[in-house]
Amino acid sequence: MKKKIYAYRQVGMALCFVLILCGCQSHQGHQFYVNSRIMMGTIVEVTSPDKRAAGIAFSEIKRIEDLLSKYKEDSEVSRLNKLGKSVVSPETFYILKKSKEFWQLSNGAFDVTVAPLVDLWGFTNRNFTVPADEKIKNILNLVGSDKILLHNNENVIKFKFPGMKIDLGAIAKGYALDCAVKKLKEKGINSCLINAGGQVYCLGKKFGRPWRVAIRGPRGKGVVSFLELADQSVATSGDYEQYFIKNNKRYAHILDPKTGYPADSGIMAVTVIAPDGLTSDTLATAIFVLGKDKGERLAKRFKGVEVKIYAQDSL
């Protein structure tokens, strides 16, 4: 008998700003604008007292998505995945350099070369399957960021083996928010909240007080805490955003690059607060793979970083 596979995707439910309506709103006599758009595979919501903020943020996020998305056929990442070698823009080169740096720091837990594994498990096209051990072992030969060769002076990226691919799903959103914030500041906007499906950046304050961000419980348990943030980013990685269940076992989208299987470190969700989006995004994914002890040790190496870990069955 064919076993049923249940698939779930809770776009943007990990973390959610309290206000979700679009348009112009008023709060204690202050006016602000809330706009949302589907981008980078999620709902991006921009809140600011400045009417221009959403347009600026959306166009910058789109620019990054066009460069780094593996789902866009003409992105630099897709070209690299297809050819195995490519000249890229300085920005894409920078992100690959950062990804490798993070791979090293996390002792291999954060690894953008998991792409062929992400495909094998069906997370790319949502055709979920539990692959045979043998298949996973074979694909593991293509995994490892040491197999990405970066030629600094020409912005050339080369994969060591044919069949290698990269997936920037665990870093691109964080970086896109950083780029958006930089553009907003350049235009003189210093109060804005961007929520890209749980990847959040709080620029400045909201009418003199920190932005308030609600953290939702991983198993639909409502709000578990509130954060007050100013010029900070917060990201959550969990086993409940993209996953499928087969034979009563949960298989989630963050993979352990060492085993080729979904990470199983005892963490249900991890929330990372950091001064920038790239750090919160990458750290959340890495800690989810590493588990509590190693994850907290890694986080201590970063200035201004705070971590909240929700262990499996802790809520």
- Chain residue at closest Cβ approach to ligand ADP: 169
- In angstroms, what is the C-alpha Rg of the chain? 19
Q: Smallest distance from the beta carbon of 291 to ligand ADP, in angstroms? A: 13
- How many helices (H) and strands (E) the chain has is answered by 8, 17
Q: Smallest distance from the beta carbon of 147 to ligand ADP, in angstroms? A: 14
Helix (H, G, I), strand (E, B) or coil at 148: strand
Interacting residue with Mg ion among 281, 286, 288, 291 (CB under 5 A): 281
Listed ranges 55-63, 81-89, 209-217, 284-292: which one lies at the site for ligand ADP (CB under 6 A): 284-292
Interacting residue with ligand ADP among 60, 178, 239, 281 (CB under 6 A): 281
Q: Please name the residue that has the structure tokens 């602000």.
A: 32
Establish if 254 lies at the interface with Mg ion (CB under 5 A).
no
Look at residue 254 and give the partner it binds from Mg ion, ligand ADP, none, a contact being a CB closer than 5 to 8 Å depending on partner kind: ligand ADP
In angstroms, the Cα distances linking 82 to 73, 157, 217 are 10, 12, 39
Total number of residues binding ligand ADP (CB under 6 A)? 22
Taking CB under 5 A as the rule, which mask of x and - marks residues 119-158 in contact with Mg ion?
----------------------------------------
- In 3D space, the residue among 108, 116, 118 whose CA is nearest the CA of residue 146 turns out to be 108
Establish if 276 lies at the interface with Mg ion (CB under 5 A).
no
Closest CB to Mg ion among residues 142, 196: 196
* Rounded CA separation 263/281 (Å): 16
Establish if 257 lies at the interface with ligand ADP (CB under 6 A).
yes
Whether 13 and 34 have beta carbons less than 8 Å apart is answered as no
Closest CB to ligand ADP among residues 34, 112: 112
Look at residue 111 and give the partner it binds from Mg ion, ligand ADP, none, a contact being a CB closer than 5 to 8 Å depending on partner kind: ligand ADP
- Collect all residues with Cβ–Cβ distance below 8 Å to 266 and sequence separation of at least 6: 291, 292, 311, 312
Establish if 118 lies at the interface with ligand ADP (CB under 6 A).
yes
Helix, strand, coil abundance in the chain, percent, nearest 5 = 30, 30, 35
Q: Smallest distance from the beta carbon of 254 to ligand ADP, in angstroms? A: 4
Establish if 81 lies at the interface with ligand ADP (CB under 6 A).
no
Whether 47 and 193 have beta carbons less than 8 Å apart is answered as yes
Establish if 254 lies at the interface with ligand ADP (CB under 6 A).
yes
- Collect all residues with Cβ–Cβ distance below 8 Å to 90 and sequence separation of at least 6: 155
- In 3D space, the residue among 307, 285, 310, 14 whose CA is nearest the CA of residue 169 turns out to be 285
Establish if 170 lies at the interface with Mg ion (CB under 5 A).
yes
* Eight-class DSSP state of 95: H
CB-count exposure of residue 303 (10 Å: 0-12, 13-18, 19+): exposed
- Collect all residues with Cβ–Cβ distance below 8 Å to 140 and sequence separation of at least 6: 117, 260
Helix 53-68 to helix 172-186 angle (10° resolution) is 140
Listed ranges 141-149, 214-222, 237-245, 271-279: which one lies at the site for ligand ADP (CB under 6 A): 237-245
Q: Smallest distance from the beta carbon of 114 to ligand ADP, in angstroms? A: 5
Listed ranges 44-52, 150-158, 235-243, 298-306: which one lies at the site for ligand ADP (CB under 6 A): 235-243
Listed ranges 29-37, 55-63, 111-119, 305-313: which one lies at the site for ligand ADP (CB under 6 A): 111-119
Establish if 285 lies at the interface with Mg ion (CB under 5 A).
yes
- In 3D space, the residue among 254, 115, 95, 240 whose CA is nearest the CA of residue 173 turns out to be 95
Closest CB to ligand ADP among residues 53, 255: 255
Contacts with Mg ion, residue ranges (CB under 5 A): 170, 281, 284-285
